[in-house]
Structure 1
Amino acid sequence: MTTNTVQNPARLATASVYRYRWVALFVILSVEVMDLLDALVTNIAGPSIRLELGGSYSLIQWLGAAYTLAMAIGLLTGGRLGDIYGRRRMFLIGAAGFTLASLACGLAQSPTQLIVGRAVQGLFGAVMLPQGLGMIKQMFSASEQAKAFGAFGPVMGLSSVGGPILAGWLVDADYFDAGWRMIFFINLPLGLFAVFGAIRFLPEFKSDKAPRLDVLGVLLAAVGAFLLLYPLVQGRELDWPVWCFVLLAAGVIVFGLFAIYETGRERRRLDPLVTPSLFRKRAFSGGLAVGLVFFAALIGTGLVVTFYLQIGLGYAPLKAGLTTLPQALGTVAGFVAAGAGLAEKLGRKLLLIGTAVMIVATVGFALTVRLVGDGITPYHFIPATALLGVGMGLAMAPFFNIVLAGVDHEETGSASGALTSVQQLGGAFGIAVLGTIFFAILPGQVVSHVDGSTAELRTVLTTSGVPSDAQPAVIAGLRDCLRDRTAQDDPDVVPASCEGAGAPSPEIQAYGGAQVRAGFQDATVWTTGVTLVLLMLAFGLAFLLPKKARPEDAAAH
């Protein structure tokens, strides 16, 4: 139960309905847009960022992983901070911090500065976002809450459609010579609007009985997640030293200590970060597992597609963003169809149908990449990506309500926070694992294509004037060079095997470029196979979930 501690009582028309509630909703939606844009734009802008700041391809992985990991950890306690210190106050702190962190990201001069800025963005976003959702429930009457929450669907849909295109446009347009930095500077007017709008229009709400903050629980969860994530992202570049596996084992141990500590807090009647009794419920544990693998597949595959489009095919950021447009439009269509009554009518079946559609679409995407090959264009991707988006919308729409139907009402707050955190954590692990698999596969696929086209290469060498007796050495050297170039952690560094051979002829350069593109094509197809495994696992785990959402939950969303 909550009570209004409004800093300006004149703003309330009644004790239960807030006078400026619709304006306040607009303020809350503005920060949702900021968060959604920042979760999407770095995939498109990542290659351009790496080109300017330098560093290895893992920088692109960290741009997404640092944000989502920090968000995942922060969301475990973000809502409780509002209960303890007041939702309006924490919304202001979160919005102001997010805006300043966006400015710091836009001004970053090194990969480390940018990654730290992204992590700070995620932490302040986790403070900011839960407050808005809590205030909506208190500002609006029961009859209006469905309309208020219903506004999130179109806003999220428009943001998911416009985010990649906006990122590509801003990077390509290079306004004020800012290039990729504009994707962060665009947050400044939105953030200022949120801050001043919150000061003017948001009321203060605070719990009558504020829970105690579980600081040690937060630290254990953060350390455990970092210990698991860091070696997954950096292990390939470091050639998997022993300490990477030690960190992975330590991460598992830390999460074990976290579980023991949280159980002890519950026994002592203290407020745990995550209610341990939830994990004894099949529906909730199954929901966490589904969320982890589903969002790992979703977010990780998005990064792999960016690698393929921008690095493999050489697409400009705007062209890459437009290529993903059918998927975003399909997602909106899926959400609209689910909201038109399918979610309420079908419940868990809709989640299963959506996941099955995603599996079919993923197979279609892999076949398109494989069969069309080097002549592929953005138009070839439309059928598979649009279908993938529809499946995403159908599967995601009922997910949270169905999982929460398996927990008691008094556990809903803790369960919601844990589910949202797992969604972000799954995204971070998807980026780490699928990105690592992609670049681990890539050199071998390039070598395979060189070995399989030796006759073509001999013809190219003969055309370029290379004597037949010198061709075996040139072929071996080119093979090693292409392998080492694609295996190189930092693509700006020239491997030793590529030095000293002189400038290759245009024909040899064209041949080498074709083999690298073919390698990117195959690495994408193989990594998509991992995505298929994750989606099929999510499909199977979904049978652990309740068949229907609770009626009141379905009505609220």
Structure 2
Amino acid sequence: MTDTHLAGTAGTAAPDSRPYRWRWAVLAVILAAEIMDLLDSTIVNLAATPIARDLGGGASTVQWVVGAYTLAFAVALVIGGRLGDKFGRKNLFVLGAAGFTVASLICATAQEPTVLIVARAVQGLLGAVLIPQGFGIMKQVFPPQDLGKAFASFGPVIGLSAIAGPLLGGVLVDADLFGLGWRIIFLINVPIGIATVIAAVVLIPRSDRRPELRFDPLGLVLFAAAALLLIYPLIEGHELGWPWWTYASMAVALILFGVFAWHERHSAAPLIEPTLLTNRSYVGGLGLILLGFAAMIGFSLVFNVYAQAALGYSPLTTAFAGCAYAVGMALAAGLGSAALVPRFGRRVLVLGYAVMALGALGMVATVRLTGLTAHPWQFLPAGFVFGVGGGLAIVPVFSVILAGVQDHEVGSASGLLNAVQQLGGTIGVAVSGTLFFQLLPSRGPVDAMQITTLVAAAFLIGCLGLVRLLPRRARPE
């Protein structure tokens, strides 16, 4: 039997068929795409301040450089997986990787903030096309006995990327290679992206298409419009002086989210399973994901701005000051997911969010005690505690939420959770960034940082209440 034949039947072959020959090479291609996405998001968070300083623009530029990507990613992720089912996962993977690479090149050569922000949004759209295909491709090429090993490789890769990303970004920006400054952080995606596209074309087998699948364009438009009408005034309101339309826009956004939920329950081809919206524990899980990621991503952005703009740290020093968070999360993630969650269920999440809140309060104390003379190492203890809490709560939270849905709802439920995760990060960037920059002129950087971090702690305390709505045990799968 030839490899060509195997490529066309991978995942549906007869029991005596050999596994797809190049499955481990395919896994490497998928992991390369994941690394490209993860490095891009973590490094850009660190480099937002130098970018705004170089290209010009106010506080909103800092927020949009990060938020445009996550907002576009959240919207497109709602249909990203289904596009692969309809048009073929390999085709969408190649399209997403190629488009992401081109958008990265545009980011690297941008000469004004508007071009960069639009290119970041395009990156997000294409990232949402690219990333969901990887899991379907893995299920296609790996036999059941190898699938667990393949999925297990994601943990170390994601953890290492979370730790190495900011440090690599700090080194690259500080080194100012070839006089490129922050532009190098986008250019590194280009060779990775080109190699990923070539390898995907050669190695990934074709998958069956389902042209009969229908989409719900009105549902997508409602979700996208609601998200944009909420985020835009939150980011732009401070610089515009909060005119009346910013409040009206946010009010309309909330109404549109309600209309979206109603529409999905009555649509002939809903984007999400309508029964999920009446599932109390699942809806509570959506709120939990939204608040948790808003706290985490919002705090991360503001910390990077505070360290560079107020304390005068270089990008590399800023990365060192914040690295304990990534280390703590990586260390706790394996313990929380592998050992504690199967035994203690949602109680691990309670512990995790409580420890995160404690870490945030520790950061408030650190900022208060050290002021504008803080040394980078003084942020390490609170950052480590914050990261440990994140590893215990953020990493296993999906498995606990999904324990409350039916088997046929898992795909739709996990897709919406991922979209809300990205939307939560965007809201965190908008709320925390706007609050920090709003307070900065009147209260100074120290007070602004303390108050913004207290808001993040409040979000995490709110998560503690929502955890009680979740199932007691995690989903075994």
Q: TM-score, normalised by structure 2?
A: 0.96
Aligned to 1:102: 104
Equivalent of 1:114 in 113, 116, 131: 116
For the residue of structure 1 that corresponds to 2:208, the secondary structure is strand
Per-residue deviation, 1:147: 1.1
Aligned: 1:374 with 2:372: yes
Q: Would the alpha carbon gap of residues 52 and 208 (structure 1) be closer, same or farther in structure 2, given more than 3 Å must change?
A: closer
Per-residue deviation, 1:95: 0.5
Could you tell me which runs of 5 or more consecutive residues in structure 1 were left unpaired when the two chains were aligned. 1-5, 446-518
Q: Would the alpha carbon gap of residues 442 and 33 (structure 1) be closer, same or farther in structure 2, given more than 3 Å must change?
A: same
How many Å separate the matches in 1 of 2:397 and 2:6? 40
Bigger CA radius of gyration: 1
Q: Would the alpha carbon gap of residues 10 and 340 (structure 1) be closer, same or farther in structure 2, given more than 3 Å must change?
A: closer
- In structure 1, what residue type is equivalent to 2:5? P
Equivalent of 1:520 in 440, 445, 453: 445
How many Å separate the matches in 2 of 1:10 and 1:423? 36
Aligned to 2:414: 416
Please show how residues 129-168 of structure 1 align to structure 2 within 5 Å.
129-168=131-170
Could you list the per-position Cα deviations for residues 220-272 of structure 1 after superposition, in whole angstroms to 9, with x for gaps in the alignment? Answer: 1111100010000000110011111121122122223222322221xxxx220
For the residue of structure 2 that corresponds to 1:549, the secondary structure is coil
Aligned to 1:542: 467
Aligned to 2:206: 204
Could you tell me which runs of 5 or more consecutive residues in structure 2 were left unpaired when the two chains were aligned. none
Per-residue deviation, 1:370: 0.6
Please show how residues 27-426 of structure 1 align to structure 2 within 5 Å.
27-206=29-208, 210-265=212-267, 270-426=268-424
Per-residue deviation, 1:443: 1.9
Aligned: 1:8 with 2:12: no
Contact 2:337 2:392 in 1 (8 A): no
Q: Would the alpha carbon gap of residues 414 and 340 (structure 1) be closer, same or farther in structure 2, given more than 3 Å must change?
A: closer
Aligned to 1:449: none
Q: Would the alpha carbon gap of residues 116 and 7 (structure 1) be closer, same or farther in structure 2, given more than 3 Å must change?
A: farther
Please show how residues 503-514 of structure 1 align to structure 2 within 5 Å.
none
Aligned to 1:448: none
How many Å separate the matches in 2 of 1:125 and 1:337? 29
Contact 2:175 2:181 in 1 (8 A): yes
Could you list the per-position Cα deviations for residues 466-496 of structure 1 after superposition, in whole angstroms to 9, with x for gaps in the alignment? Answer: xxxxxxxxxxxxxxxxxxxxxxxxxxxxxxx
Q: Would the alpha carbon gap of residues 257 and 374 (structure 1) be closer, same or farther in structure 2, given more than 3 Å must change?
A: closer
- In structure 2, what residue type is equivalent to 1:322? F
Contact 2:87 2:211 in 1 (8 A): no
How many Å separate the matches in 2 of 1:173 and 1:70? 31
For the residue of structure 1 that corresponds to 2:239, the secondary structure is coil
- In structure 2, what residue type is equivalent to 1:62? W
Per-residue deviation, 1:278: 0.3
Please show how residues 434-453 of structure 1 align to structure 2 within 5 Å.
434-445=432-443
Contact 2:167 2:320 in 1 (8 A): yes
Contact 1:348 1:398 in 2 (8 A): no
Contact 1:310 1:317 in 2 (8 A): yes
Aligned to 2:458: 533
How many Å separate the matches in 2 of 1:293 and 1:207? 37
How many Å separate the matches in 2 of 1:348 and 1:199? 42
For the residue of structure 2 that corresponds to 1:235, the secondary structure is helix
How many Å separate the matches in 1 of 2:233 and 2:372? 34
How many Å separate the matches in 1 of 2:4 and 2:66? 39
- In structure 2, what residue type is equivalent to 1:522? D
Could you list the per-position Cα deviations for residues 423-481 of structure 1 after superposition, in whole angstroms to 9, with x for gaps in the alignment? Answer: 00000000001111111122221xxxxxxxxxxxxxxxxxxxxxxxxxxxxxxxxxxxx
Per-residue deviation, 1:208: 5.4
How many Å separate the matches in 2 of 1:7 and 1:276? 41
Contact 1:78 1:127 in 2 (8 A): yes
How many Å separate the matches in 2 of 1:56 and 1:286? 36
How many Å separate the matches in 2 of 1:220 and 1:13? 38
How many Å separate the matches in 2 of 1:189 and 1:117? 18
Question: Displaced runs of 4+ in structure 1, greater than 3 A?
Answer: 10-14, 207-210
How many Å separate the matches in 2 of 1:356 and 1:206? 46
- In structure 2, what residue type is equivalent to 1:435? G
Q: How many percent identity over aligned positions?
A: 47
How many Å separate the matches in 2 of 1:8 and 1:188? 29
How many Å separate the matches in 1 of 2:125 and 2:376? 36
How many Å separate the matches in 2 of 1:314 and 1:165? 17
Q: Would the alpha carbon gap of residues 84 and 322 (structure 1) be closer, same or farther in structure 2, given more than 3 Å must change?
A: same
Contact 1:78 1:126 in 2 (8 A): yes
Q: Would the alpha carbon gap of residues 208 and 49 (structure 1) be closer, same or farther in structure 2, given more than 3 Å must change?
A: closer
Aligned to 2:24: 22
For the residue of structure 1 that corresponds to 2:174, the secondary structure is helix
- In structure 1, what residue type is equivalent to 2:158? M
- In structure 2, what residue type is equivalent to 1:60? V
How many Å separate the matches in 1 of 2:474 and 2:353? 18
How many Å separate the matches in 2 of 1:530 and 1:280? 30
How many Å separate the matches in 2 of 1:7 and 1:233? 52
Contact 2:216 2:269 in 1 (8 A): yes
Per-residue deviation, 1:210: 4.8
How many Å separate the matches in 2 of 1:290 and 1:30? 30
- In structure 2, what residue type is equivalent to 1:239? G
For the residue of structure 1 that corresponds to 2:242, the secondary structure is coil
The alignment covers a number of residue pairs equal to: 470
Q: Would the alpha carbon gap of residues 156 and 19 (structure 1) be closer, same or farther in structure 2, given more than 3 Å must change?
A: same
Contact 1:11 1:20 in 2 (8 A): no
Per-residue deviation, 1:334: 1.0
How many Å separate the matches in 2 of 1:211 and 1:414? 14
How many Å separate the matches in 1 of 2:153 and 2:199? 18
Contact 2:103 2:119 in 1 (8 A): yes
Per-residue deviation, 1:70: 0.3
How many Å separate the matches in 2 of 1:143 and 1:352? 34
